[in-house]
Structure 1
Amino acid sequence: MKLRIITQPIVEPITLAEAKAHCRIDFIEDDELISGLISAARNYVEERTRRTLPLTTWELALDEVKGDIEIPRPPLVSINSITFEDSSGVVVTIPTADYVVDDISEPAIVRHKKNWGKGWGFNNGAVINAIRVNFTAGYTLIPKTLKQAILMLIAHYYENREPTAEGRNSGQIPHAVDALISLSRVYRQV
Structure 2
Amino acid sequence: MMLIEETTVPDTALPVAEFKAHLRLGTGFGEESLQDSVLKSFLRAAIAAIEARTGKILITREFSWSLTGWRDRSGQALPVSPVTEISRVTLIDALEIESELPSYRFRLEKDSQRPRLRPTDSLLPMVRTGGSVRINFRAGFAPTWGELPADLGQAVLLLAAHYYEYRNETALSDGCMPFGVSSLLQRYRVMRIGIGSVQ
**Fold match, TM over 0.5?**
yes
| Corresponding residue of 1:74 | 81
Structure 1 moving runs of 4+ over 6 Å:
none
Could you tell me which runs of 5 or more consecutive residues in structure 1 were left unpaired when the two chains were aligned: 166-170
**How many residue pairs get matched?**
181
Residue 41 (structure 1) aligns with: 46
1:164 deviation in Å? 4.5
**1: distance between equivalents of 2:14 and 2:7?**
19
Deviations 1:99-131 (CA, angstroms, capped at 9, x unpaired): 1221135221111233x2xx424213322xx10
1:175 alignment partner in structure 2:
179
Opposite residue 32 of structure 1, the aligned amino acid is S
Q: Distance in 2 between matches of 1:162 and 1:34?
A: 15
Q: How does 1:23-172 map to 2 (within 5 A)?
A: 23-27=23-27, 28=32, 29-65=34-70, 66-67=72-73, 68-114=75-121, 116=122, 119-127=123-131, 130-140=132-142, 141-164=147-170, 172=176
Letter of the 2:169 counterpart:
P
The gaps in structure 2 that reach 5 residues or longer are 192-196
Q: For each residue in 1:131-156, what CA deviation from the matched residue of structure 2 results, as whole angstroms up to 9, or x when unmatched?
A: 00000101222111111111111221
Question: Match for 1:61: what amino acid?
Answer: S
1:189 aligns with 2:198: yes
Q: Distance in 2 between matches of 1:25 and 1:105?
A: 36
- TM-score, normalised via structure 2 length: 0.81
**1:182 shift after superposition:** 1.6
Structure 2 counterpart of 1:30, one-letter code: Q
Q: Report the TM-score when normalising by structure 1.
A: 0.85
